[in-house]
Amino acid sequence: MSEQLRFDGQVVVVTGAGGGLGKAYCIFFASRGASVVVNDLGGSFKGEGASSKAADVVVNEIKAAGGKAVANYDSVENGDRIIDTAIKAFGRIDILINNAGILRDVSFKNMKDEDWDLIFKVHVKGSYKCARAAWPYFRKQKYGRVINTASAAGLFGNFGQANYSAAKLAMVGFTETLAKEGIKYNIISNVIAPIAASRMTETVMPPDLLALMKPEWVVPLVAVLTHKSNTSETGSIFEVGGGHIAKLRWERSSGQLLKCDDTYTPGAVLKKWDDVSNFSKPEHPTGVADFVGLLEQSQKLPANEK
Ligand code: NAD
């Protein structure tokens, strides 16, 4: 049997850890030797109210099992205070799990600015603030592991979730850039689109389906990605839940290069539409640079068919 993945001596910050997925991460990391900061604002799933109870319950459970944990009740918008809690209590931070989240579901027709802004404040600004505050520690110690939390709604869109979808896809671009900037310092960043039974999903999914989706079943992937043995899987996107783990990547059609002169008309584009959207020879881009090289080649082409 392979050795158990352990996190002894490491410090893990989990945001939104008073229940659901966040709680499952905390219980796991503490059981594998890590010291854990259990952050939770303790409000409703719509982002209303606040309470210290949610985080305290998880801290007490960890302590009762002989683990090490402290609570933090700040909103993730004040990520620097959450990271400060880790430094003050345990002297370091090794792993950041950006997990806190809320929903403000409403059809786009009825969406108000406050529905949009609150979702962005918690998911996007909150993840940014926590990662930004942890970053100098990660760089200095040449070690850091980040998990950001997206959603299938962000990857594919979902009715009533224009705000949430936009914020969750932002987690993908954010992670891809952190991965590129961090790799030199052994800072590994990945993003997951989880699916799990929690107060967020219990009202929209039937009980028999929820029973197949325990939050605990998202944890093993997060453990693998944040363990010190992972030094190369970074900037990746995963869907995970109910025991299924799959990696996603960008796919681009091989496309059609058109000559950039006065023959480059809408009609010329239409003529080539099948080639533009033909995925029979797909490419899987991982950076911005490769597209730019195509532009020079365009000048060498014959005039476009109109
Ligand atoms: P959850 O409601 O049980 O957990 C979210 C936690 O975040 C709550 O405990 C809440 O109090 C906390 N929180 C909310 N706003 C906060 C803030 N400003 N600062 C600190 N804490 C705050 O839901 P969950 O399903 O465990 O969700 C965890 C994450 O996974 C979320 O980011 C969610 O969007 C994402 N997600 C979940 C699913 C799923 O199927 N459960 C699917 C896709 C994405």
ipTM confidence score: 0.99
Q: pTM of the full predicted structure?
A: 0.97
Q: Output the six-digit token pair for 171.
A: 């987690």
- The confidence band for 156, taking pLDDT boundaries of 50, 70 and 90, is very high
pLDDT of 288 higher than 90: no
d(Cα 297, Cα 257) in Å, to the nearest integer?
Answer: 8
Ligand 1 and 85: CB distance under 6 A: no
For residues 36 and 29, the answer to whether their CB atoms sit within 8 Å is yes
Atom number in ligand 1 closest to CA 213: 40
Ligand 1 touching residue 62 (CB < 6 A): no
Q: Is the CB of 154 under 6 A from ligand 1?
A: no
d(CA 170, CA 164): 10
Instruction: Give pLDDT, residue 14.
Output: 99
Q: Is the pLDDT of residue 305 over 80?
A: yes
Phi and psi at residue 240, in whole multiples of 5°? -150, 135
Quickly tell me which residue has 């025991």 as its tokens.
243
CB-ligand 1 contact for 50 (6 Å cutoff): no
Question: What's the 98 CA to ligand 1 centre distance in angstroms?
Answer: 9
Kindly name the residue from 164, 214, 281, 306 that is annotated as catalytic: 164
Say which DSSP state 240 is in.
E
